[in-house]
Structure 1
Amino acid sequence: MAYLLLLGAVASEVVAALATRFSAGFTKLVPSAVAITGVVGAYYLLSLALKQGMDMGVAYGIWAALGVTAVALVGAAFLGDTLTWAQMIGIVLVIGGVLSLELGGQH
């Protein structure tokens, strides 16, 4: 259940990041409200995952890695952002680091 809450937190954070892009510096009401609600929702869901006993380092690492990966891929696929080979390698390294945190903590 903690991992489902964490995935919800990631999704909420990704929506917030994308809404921020469309908020025009928080001058557009709807995208600004979506961004703020998304961030609050993300932290709330993260707190619930932590409450269920998930380690902070692992939870935050997964959240950050999946979030940055999703935002980068959505930006490249739908928003015209560029994604260079160096950036793709960086994403792979971030995911590898999170996997190391998760697998290294298992007994």
Structure 2
Amino acid sequence: MPYVFLGLAIVAEVLGTSLLKTTDGFTRLWPTMACLVAYAGAFFALALAIQQGLKVGVGYAVWSGLGTTLIVVIGALFLGESITVPKAVGVALVIAGVVVLNLGGAH
């Protein structure tokens, strides 16, 4: 069950981050509200995952690592951002770090 909550936390965080551009610097009310609600949902779901037994370090690493990776992909596919070699290497290092953390007996 903690991984279900972790998955929900990742989806909510990616949604909130994807909405950031539409807030226009938090000057547009409804996009700002949607963004903040998504972030609140992300933290709530992450807290539930940790309450259900997920280790904080593992939960946060997976949440932030997958969130970062998904945002880079969404940026490239839908927001007109380029994927450069340094950006791809950075994302690969983030993913590698999450994998090493999980394989290293962090849970």
Name the TM-score class by shorter chain: over 0.9
- Counterparts of 2:2 and 2:39, CA distance in 1: 18
In structure 2, the partner of 1:12 is 12
How many residue pairs align between the two structures?
Answer: 107
Answer yes or no: is 1:77 the counterpart of 2:77: yes
Give unmatched runs, 5+ long, in structure 1. Answer: none
Return the offset for 1:77. 0.7
Q: Deviations over 1:78-98 (max 9, x none)?
A: 110111011111111101100
- Counterparts of 1:10 and 1:44, CA distance in 2: 11
Give unmatched runs, 5+ long, in structure 2. Answer: none
In structure 2, the partner of 1:51 is 51
Pairing of 1:84-99 with structure 2 (within 5 A): 84-99=84-99
What secondary structure is seen at the aligned counterpart in 2 of 1:90?
helix
Say what the alpha-carbon RMSD is for the aligned residues: 1.2
What secondary structure is seen at the aligned counterpart in 2 of 1:80?
coil
The structure 1 segments of at least 4 consecutive aligned residues displaced by more than 3 Å after TM superposition are none
